[in-house]
Copies of this chain bind each other. A is one copy, B any other.
Amino acid sequence: MSSPHNTTSLYNGMFDKVINALYQSSQGFSKTTLKQRHNLLYSIATALDANRNNLIKITEKETHLEEARLNSEFNRTLLQWRSYADHCLSGLWLNASIDNPTQHGRDIRKTMVPLGPVVVFGASNFPFAYSTAGGDTASALAAGCSVIVKAHPAHPETSAACAAIISRAMEEMGLPTGIFTHIEDSSLQMGEALVKHPLIKAVAFTGSLQGGRQLFDWANQRDIPIPVFAEMGSLNPIFLLPEKLKTETETIALQLFESITQSMGQFCTKPGLIIGLASEHFSIFIEQLSKRIQSCEAKSMLHQGILDNYHKNRDSILHHQHVTLTASSTHEASADSGIPTLAKVKAADFLLHPEMQLEVFGPFSLIVECDNMDEMQCIAEKLQGQLTASVFGTEKELRMNERLLEKLTGFAGRLVCNGVPTGVDVCLSMHHGGPYPASTDSRFTAVGGDAIQRFARPICFQNFPDTLLPDELKNDNPLGILRKVNNQWGK
């Protein structure tokens, strides 16, 4: 069993050995049944849950995240393992399809096969849900891929503990060694070596645009390019329509305040841009939001790198000649705290300066004040790809602004009506992704059962005898899954 605590490095001769073991084991693992993978995912969830208190204690110490938040993330992580296990077992993601006879009298059947070994780059802001034991690992295993996780250095003990739990669960199920490997080496060189290794077949990443793009470029420079699923930056713009704002000024200010500042704004779905029409009620809204920001405590950020970037990026916006500081926390802050901040810019200036479309990861949001709906429409047209776009409006207003809604459809992966983008449901209908630079592949989701599909590709069998077909394609449908037979869905 490859130890989760091994100190694989590029320099101790272990690297190629580990990747080779990963590749070899992937062959056997790809042949496991849906039921076996379902059981594995559930066992891992159960084992993680049994270690909940211990894990949360370790993580609290490493990340400055609060216990309540970590507990909620932990629940979400378990839901990911269990719901992806259920989705794996349902076989729906295989898109199994049978045509018999075709127009040329052939028997053609299609299903999915795993891509092969996947590298997962752990995220710093979700030590459970998007790190070693996170959604990428769970969905790659569900697809039948072996996984190598490059742990995020911001929470090494959490990662190592999760890795040990996953490895033990696999060992107890008697699965081949090497299916899951954990690397604790945060060097750029290790990242490059992993992405460029010929036996690696896909990459999953959650983090910055700069980091994600680097992995994407490496992967595409290979002789044999591989897919990169990088979930990167997003401004998650909020469009406020006047009627709704007028009737619910205070509620909306509170909702947005909480969404901007929870966990010190360290969410990829934090609203970083608030677009409204200049009016009395918009001014009242800004005032209310400002008061809340001023009285908001400045707390420690996840790690020094995130803190430094937060202040650097925030300041680069604040120092822009057209931007004014609207409010910032008046609480005393320790050296490792991020200062909650609100700033404002006129829409005409925002439109002229695309550099203001910079994600400030942390408790910061930029208000964009429009003189009229045309300006708001223009902003919707000029925004780059986003994970989400939210709109607050009465049903009548929304109907009157269908062109605006169309523009949101054009750049975002998820549209939220009268709500905030934070809080990503783990369900089959979720799409967590979006046009670049929100993600490197807008066609796939990082959250929900469909995340499994990132790590598989279709394969077609022509005129094979029934006994040699994978179970999901056999005539009598032994798995009892839904399939398309001559274009009709059924069992």
Seen from chain A, the residues whose Cβ lies within 8 Å of a Cβ on chain B are: 27, 31, 79, 86-87, 90, 92, 95, 97-99, 102-104, 106, 108-110, 113, 115-116, 216-217, 220, 224-225, 227, 384-385, 395, 398-399, 402, 405-406, 409-410, 412-419, 423, 425-431, 433, 435-437, 440-443, 445, 449-450, 456-465, 467-468, 482, 484, 487, 489
Contact = CB atoms under 8 A, between A and B. Distances in A.
A458 B431 contact: yes
A412 B468 contact: no
Copies of this chain: 2
B108 A427 contact: yes
Contacts of A406: 27, 31
A414 B467 CA distance: 18
Contact of A460 (B429, B465, B482, B489): B429
Contact of A425 (B99, B443, B459): B99
Given A399-B467, A406-B27, A417 B90 contact: no
B459 A429 contact: no
B463 A417 contact: yes
A445 B487 CA distance: 16
B104 A423 contact: yes
A459 B415 contact: yes
Contacts of A224: 384-385, 435-437
Given A398-B465, A414-B460, A463-B416, A425 B98 contact: no
Contacts of A427: 99, 102-103, 108
B99 A461 contact: no
Nearest to A454: B443
Contacts of A456: 443
A465 B425 contact: no
Contacts of A459: 409, 412-415, 431
A109 B429 contact: yes
A110 B463 contact: no
23 contacts: A27-B406, A79-B103, A87-B487, A92-B484, A103-B425, A103-B426, A106-B419, A110-B429, A216-B220, A216-B225, A220-B220, A224-B435, A224-B436, A225-B436, A227-B443, A412-B459, A414-B460, A416-B462, A419-B463, A429-B460, A431-B459, A431-B460, A489-B489
